Amino acid sequence: MAEAEVNSYLVLGISLFMLLNSAALTVYAERRIASFIQNRVGPNRVGPFGLFQPLADVVKLLLKEDVTPIHSYRFIHTIAPIIPVVTALMTIAVIPFGEGIYVTDINAGVLYLLAVASLGVYGVTLAGWASNSKYSLLGGLRAAAQMVSYELPLGMALASVVLFVGSLSVVDVAASQEYWWYLFLNPLGAIIFIIAAFAESNRTPFDLVEAEQELVGGFHTEYSSMKFGMFFLAEYMHVVINSMLITTFFFGSYHLPFAGYWLPEMSPLAKAILDVLVFTAKTIFFIFVFIWVRWTIPRFKYNQVMNLGWSKLLPLSILNFFVIAAILFALNAA
């Protein structure tokens, strides 16, 4: 069917707006779903059903004092929170929300995503180091080591998807799932990617770096007011972004299941609306999964985290990649 011709900047503006809003809504959703799981009532005072709670949180954070500890490295302490926010925002540039609806189609989109994810480690490390406090330093190092260790299975899982697509463009990845989702063709890769995505965004069960019981606040102990708010915001944006990545790479992006077989012809406008709705629904589902897992599973110890990443996920992802490459090669040669 004819692709919708949408201006990139229109998509950019709308998706940026939606992303920021969805990060705020995810904060609210987390507290409500957590309360539902824990059999209590969450925030329901501020606005209808408590929907303005995130707004109240932001206003509160803005009005608090911005304390910078006296022995910290001022400049780095100030710019460190910017990095996770910026890297989270930059990932939406390559994600397709529908057929023809994307900000830009660079031919190395997968590498771009991987690079941006790697840059996010800087924010954590610099924050931990610049605060010049023991808790922050150790927390920052552990967070950095964990994020860095799980980037490897993440990259390998994405590489195993690239084997099927034959191109590094994310738009191609999304378009090629019209018939079969990669969840069915590459289930092990999907599992590895989901686990690595949890670890990359420092969500439970991998959130020991900000575990209140252990390291106070970990790398963001010494941050207050909006700088802390930005770490907070960045974490929830990462949840949304990772949900988007999971749907894009493994769950068919904007396609309905096996859509190529049964979907009738539609006008571009109707198809675009359908695509965006499907994509949004899948993303919301995965945000729900992220929150659900957080309030269900206890957190890992640090050595368990590293052991899982290096001893189990990395060899498994390499083997997965190799076996898929061998099978595809044999099928092609036949």
Partner 1 sequence: MLENYIPIIVLFGIAIVLAIILMSLSRLLGPYRPNKNKLNPYESGMDPVGQAKERYSIGFYLVAMEFIVFDLEVIFLYPWAVGFLDLGLEAFFAMTIFIVILFIGLWYTLKIGTLDFSMKPTLANR
Q: Does 221 bind partner 1 (CB under 8 A)?
A: yes
Determine the Cα–Cα distance for residues 146 and 304; give it in Å rounded to an integer. 11
Question: Per CB under 8 A, which region of 81-89, 183-191, 196-204, 280-288 contacts partner 1?
Answer: 81-89
What is the longest distance spanned by two Cα atoms in the chain?
Answer: 68
332 binds partner 1 per the rule CB under 8 A: yes
Tell me how far CA of residue 298 lies from CA of 98, 165, 206, 218, 312, in angstroms: 37, 37, 9, 18, 20
Which stretch in 67-75, 181-189, 263-271, 287-295 sits in contact with partner 1 by CB under 8 A?
67-75
Indicate whether 12 belongs to the interface with partner 1 (CB under 8 A): yes
Q: How far is the CB of 92 from partner 1 (least distance, A)?
A: 8
Give the closest residue to 248 by CA, choosing from 119, 86, 102: 102
- Taking CB under 8 A as the rule, does residue 229 contact partner 1? yes
Q: Which of 154, 206, 148 is nearest to 317 (CA)?
A: 154
Q: Which of 24, 33, 93, 272 binds partner 1 (CB under 8 A)?
A: 93
86 binds partner 1 (CB under 8 A): yes
Q: Least distance (Å) from partner 1 to the CB of residue 288?
A: 26
Q: Are 128 and 219 in contact (CB under 8 A)?
A: yes
When the beta carbons of 11 and 274 are compared against partner 1, the nearer one is 11
Footprint of partner 1 on 97-126 (CB under 8 A): 103-107, 110-112
Which residues between 148 and 187 bind partner 1 (CB under 8 A)?
Answer: 148-149, 151-152, 155-156, 159-160, 162-163, 166-168
- Residue type at 71 in one-letter notation: H
- Decide: is 213 part of the binding site for partner 1 (CB under 8 A): no
Q: Is 68 in the site for partner 1 (CB under 8 A)?
A: yes
Among 104, 103, 81, 83, smallest CA distance to 18 is for 103
Residue 204 tokens read as 């439970």
Count of residues that bind partner 1 according to CB under 8 A: 80
In sequence order, what are the residues at sequence separation of 6 or more whose Cβ sits closer than 8 angstroms to the Cβ of residue 87? Answer: 116, 117, 119, 120, 123
Q: Does 21 bind partner 1 (CB under 8 A)?
A: no
